[in-house]
Amino acid sequence: MNFDLSEEQQMFVTSVERFAAPIDVEARRKLRLSTTGYDRARWQQLAEMGLIALAAGEDAGGLGGSAVDLALVLEAVGKANAPDPLLEHGILPALLLERGGADDVLEGVLAGETLATLAWTERGQRYSLKAKGMKAEGAGDSFTLTGEKTMVMGALLADLFIVTADLRGETACFLVPRNAPGLEVRAYRLADGSIAGEIKLTRTPASAKLSLEIAGLLGIAADLRLYAAAEMVGLGQRLLDDTLAYVKEREQFGVAIGSFQALQHRLVDCYARQEQARSMLYRAALTDRTETEKWQRAAAGAKAFIGENIDAIAREAVQMHGGMGITDELAIGHAMKRVLLLARLFGDVDTALAEYALAA
């Protein structure tokens, strides 16, 4: 089997590497400490590169990228330790809006003019996509929403909230503009420095209802699990590369600590984990997506396997760097915190593994 990248795939990967290169650790830290945790001008540049459009089909105005294309791009984002929320505010909204039939709104998202986020998590629901606490009332084109959502990523950054709500016993998706009446946001920072929040809606009017039901949401969640795993693979490579460079320079007892056999064995284990994770990623990405159950099972398995192994690499990287490894002064500190977030997005390791076992 030919694993070489196509010319177009290599172009996108190179574009990501070039785009992320100027963002060093200090620039990344300052960006995260800004009011919204990100820069809208940078998001516009990212959109102009076509990275968001890669997630949408050509009929919807996108570039029609495959699962492998998107996985490669997100792996490059992770390897660069880039602060760009391409996964949560680019790919995820694009998939939701396209499959939900909101092409008019999708156009602004692909162009980088509208920044959208999904509000789906609720208290006591763990990782369930089924809405319970958020209620929708109305019919036709007129709906109002009442309830609360937790852990809404990009809560201060988003222009548009895609909110899941219970509509007569079924989970449906609604579009709620940021300036909608009755919408309240309480923001807080996540482990990776980005800003999320809780939103409260009180008879808030929705601007539209998506043609997307729970089955469609489950399919998109499977996609996001794979792409989160792809970014983790890139982060794992960055963690391993930085740690290898460090142990060659850091001296103890007059020699580089990389010469210690115990550390060499642990680094070999990390290398093996990294290569296995990358292989698992490509295996899942190449799964036939027309076989829905098989695809969702493969995505869950990949997320569980990669999450566990990249987390282990991150912990070894911090262990070998010492206490400074967990700080924001080093790239591995930022990378590890991003891994912690991604490993729990749409289900932690145990949740994904349980779903894989049930489907096997």
The verdict on 342 and 237 lying in the same domain is yes
Given 212, 236, 255, the domain boundary residue is 212
- Please indicate, yes or no, if residue 1 is contained in any of the structural domains: no
The verdict on 266 and 236 lying in the same domain is yes
The verdict on 219 and 355 lying in the same domain is yes
Residue 4 confidence class, pLDDT cut points 50, 70, 90 = confident
What pLDDT was estimated at residue 177?
98
- Please indicate, yes or no, if residue 2 is contained in any of the structural domains: no
Given 180, 212, 244, the domain boundary residue is 212
The verdict on 224 and 342 lying in the same domain is yes
Buried b (16+ CB within 10 A) or exposed e, 74-113: bbbbbbbbbbbbbbbbbbbbbbbbbbbebeebbbbbbebe
- Please indicate, yes or no, if residue 75 is contained in any of the structural domains: yes
What pLDDT was estimated at residue 5?
81
Indicate the number of domains in the chain: 3
> 313-346 pLDDT, tens per residue?
999 999 999 988 999 899 999 999 999 999 999 9
The answer to whether residue 1 scores a pLDDT higher than 70 is no
Mean pLDDT, residues 350-360 taken together: 91
Coil, strand or helix: which one is 139?
Answer: strand
The verdict on 16 and 105 lying in the same domain is yes
- Measured CA to CA, the distance from residue 300 to residue 186 in angstroms comes to 31
% of the chain exceeding 90 in pLDDT: 88
> 77-122 pLDDT, tens per residue?
999 999 999 999 999 999 999 999 999 999 999 999 999 999 999 9
- Please indicate, yes or no, if residue 194 is contained in any of the structural domains: yes
Question: What does pTM read for this prediction?
Answer: 0.96
Q: Residue 206 maps to which CATH number?
A: 2.40.110.10
Domain that holds residue 282: 215-359
Mean pLDDT, residues 213-228 taken together: 96
What is the chain's mean pLDDT, rounded?
95
The verdict on 174 and 234 lying in the same domain is no
> 29-82 pLDDT, tens per residue?
899 989 999 999 999 999 999 999 999 999 999 999 999 999 999 999 999 999
What pLDDT was estimated at residue 3?
65
The verdict on 252 and 322 lying in the same domain is yes
